[in-house]
A and B are shown apart, each in its own frame.
Chain A
Amino acid sequence: MKALKCRECSREYPLGATHVCEFDFGPLEVAYDYERIRQSLTRDKICSRPQNMWRYRELLPIAGEPTVGAKVGYTPLIKADRLAARLGIRELWIKNDAVNYPTLSFKDRVVSVALSRSVELGFKTVACASTGNLANSVAANAAAAGLHCYVFIPSDLEQGKVVNSLVYGANVVAIRGHYDEVNRLCAEIAGKYGWAFVNVNMRPYYAEGSKSMGFEIQEQLGWQIPEHTVVCMASGSLLTKIHKSYQEFSKLGLVQSQGWKIHGAQATGCSPITTAQKAGLDFFKPVKPNTIAKSLAIGTPADGFYALKVMKETGGHSDDVSDDEIRDGIRMLAETEGIFAETAGGVTVGVAKKLIAQGKIPSDSSAVLCITGNGLKTLEAMLGHCGESRVIKPSLREFEALLASDQAEAAS
């Protein structure tokens, strides 16, 4: 790390807990010394390290060794032949962060960076504004690190996500309002209290953690950049950081530089970025969210502008899906690949299906779908939408009657 640098005006700031430029409110990003990294980081060196996200540590913004989340990452990249056949594409891969350690979402990546950096900067209390997964990860990782923790969430979140924060002993504050209102409140709290808010004043470090998902995809594909990557968008940050990971590995000569397209996915009930992209606009219009994909329900996406830019620059597309299409996407992934994704995963699969059908992802190409969270946390979305178990007595006769009825139904 060299400094924090404003993405808009390039002014530099010291590597502290601050996230926006004082002159134009532009986002601050970590600047690296790529020449130095190029001299030391090789494929062999990466391969010699343990299989977790810290094998790319030169490209992650902490000064010393990671102190929080040392085992996060290196989730499976699955060749999804059965889903590929269903969607009508030659080759398909699932990057499965639904099994990320320890809290079953990609947020463990960003949190391990943010909290490791928070410890380096001397913070004792950590916090976040969250749609659920981030709160779970901050709560769990803070508990393991012995840090005091406050998480702020909208009050209408899925029970699974609420319990998954409470169980770690975190202070869970539920706000009567949607995520954007939670976020604004947290920006003000972060300005008033000396806490490390992972996605407010620690955001320059936090956001960089998402790159590790992209680094892993490239390594797991045999040091290649996928032709097409489909990423769900809430703030849009993950999409921009996957792109950055491809740029960085190219720049460092770790992969052959080639064209790639990054496509964005949203729920129709909260689609400010895809609406702008489909209209060919560079700017989005904020919306009031109304979707079952609560983890993506950000009506004023912080990185919306930059996500639009990445899609435009890479020739990517985007689309959005209804609540029913989200459930179909969840079921399709579960039935073909045995992976139970949360609602955001249903969005990604549903949008990939649309983009393939529209020819925007050609049927003879190869694509990676980024699955970011686990379906066990959003059970409410699927309750009553994937059949019901049938109850019988512990009797062989009753089971055989059930089987006969199934066979008769299959034959008819």
Chain B
Amino acid sequence: MVEVLIPPQLRRLCDGEEAVEVGPGTLGEVLLQLQERFNGVYDRLCQPDGTVRGSVLVLVNDEDVRFLRELQTPVRSGDSVRLIPAFAGG
């Protein structure tokens, strides 16, 4: 299974869960599984054109997916996905 860590900003939408387990696939498929469980979550993370919002950092095993294959990044069983607001720091 794949562990997806839910940031505080999405927890209200995700029944208060801090982490959720979903099946493996591409990152896009992982996010769609989240959407099936928590309606509306996909739109908060992705833009209408299907790309991840610039305001969200998505990390697969601690690496920014923009250095990988973005939504096509493979996510295997045992991997972790972190969703973090990008507007921080500096």
Within the assembled complex, what's the spacing in Å between the Cα atoms of A140 and B57?
31
Binding site for B on A (CB under 8 A): 8, 19-27, 129, 179-181, 183-184, 186-188, 190-191, 197, 199-200, 203, 207, 234-237, 283, 285-286, 288, 298, 300-303, 305
- The interface of chain B, by Cβ under 8 A from chain A, is 5, 7-10, 12-13, 44-45, 53-57, 59, 62, 64, 66-67, 82, 84-90
> Which of B7, B59, B88, B90: most chain A CB closer than 10 A?
B90
Q: How far is the CB of B70 from chain A (nearest CB, A)?
A: 12
Q: Give the Cβ gap from B66 to chain A, nearest Cβ, in Å.
A: 5
Scoring B44, B53, B56, B88 by chain A CB atoms within 10 A of each residue's CB, the highest score goes to B88
Besides the contacts A24-B53, A129-B88, A203-B88, what 5 more A-B pairs have beta carbons closer than 8 Å?
A: A22-B13, A25-B56, A183-B89, A184-B82, A203-B87
Write the chain B residue with the least CB distance to A206. B90
CB distance from B52 to the nearest CB of A (A): 10
Nearest B residue to A236 via CB reads: B90
Output the least CB separation between B25 and chain A (Å): 23
B44 touches A25 (CB 8 A): yes
Q: How far is the CB of A154 from chain B (nearest CB, A)?
A: 12
Q: 8 smallest A-B Cβ distances: which pairs?
A: A235-B90, A25-B55, A183-B89, A27-B87, A20-B85, A191-B8, A200-B88, A237-B90
- Pick the contact of A199: B5, B62, B88 (CB < 8 A): B88
Q: Which residues of A contact B89 (CB under 8 A)?
A: 129, 179-180, 183, 186-187, 199-200, 235, 298, 302
> Which residues from chain B contact A303 at a C-beta distance below 8 Å?
87, 90
- Separation of A288 and B67 alpha carbons in the complex (Å): 10
29 contacts between A and B (CB under 8 A): A19-B85, A20-B9, A20-B87, A21-B9, A22-B44, A25-B45, A25-B55, A25-B86, A25-B87, A26-B55, A26-B87, A27-B55, A180-B64, A183-B88, A184-B57, A186-B88, A187-B85, A187-B89, A190-B88, A191-B8, A199-B89, A199-B90, A234-B90, A286-B64, A286-B67, A288-B67, A298-B89, A300-B57, A300-B86
- Provide the residues of chain B in CB contact with A26, threshold 8 Å: 55, 87
A302–B56 CB distance below 8 A: no
Residues of B within 8 A of A190 (CB): 88
Inter-chain contacts of A203 with B (CB < 8 A)? 87-88
A302: chain B residues at CB < 8 Å are 86-90
| Measured CA separation A23–B85 after assembly (Å) | 11
A181 to B64, CA, bound (A): 10
Are A24 and B55 within 8 A (Cβ)? Answer: yes
Given contacts A24-B55, A286-B66, contact A184 B84 (CB under 8 A): yes
Contacts of A199 in B (CB 8 A): 88-90
In the bound complex, CA of A200 to CA of B55 (Å): 14
A242 to B8: give the CA distance in the assembly, Å: 31
Pairwise interchain contact A191-B7, C-beta atoms closer than 8 A: yes
Q: Complex Cα distance A271/B67, Å?
A: 16
| Most chain A Cβ neighbours within 10 Å, of B59, B67, B89 | B89
By the criterion CB–CB under 8 Å, are A285 and B66 in contact? yes
Q: In the docked arrangement, what's the CA distance between A23 and B12, Å?
A: 11
**A305–B54 CB distance below 8 A:** yes
B90–A22 contact, CB under 8 A? no
Question: How many Å from the CB of A265 to the closest CB on chain B?
Answer: 15
* Residues on the B chain within 8 Å of A27, using CB: 55, 87
Closest Cβ–Cβ distance, residue A255 to chain B (whole Å): 27
How far, in whole Å, are A190 and B12 apart by their CA atoms in the complex? 17
Bound together, the chains give a CA A186 to CA B6 distance in angstroms of: 15
A398 to chain B, nearest CB (A): 51
Closest-by-CB residue of B relative to A299 is B64
Shortest distance from the beta carbon of A164 to any chain B beta carbon, whole Å? 19
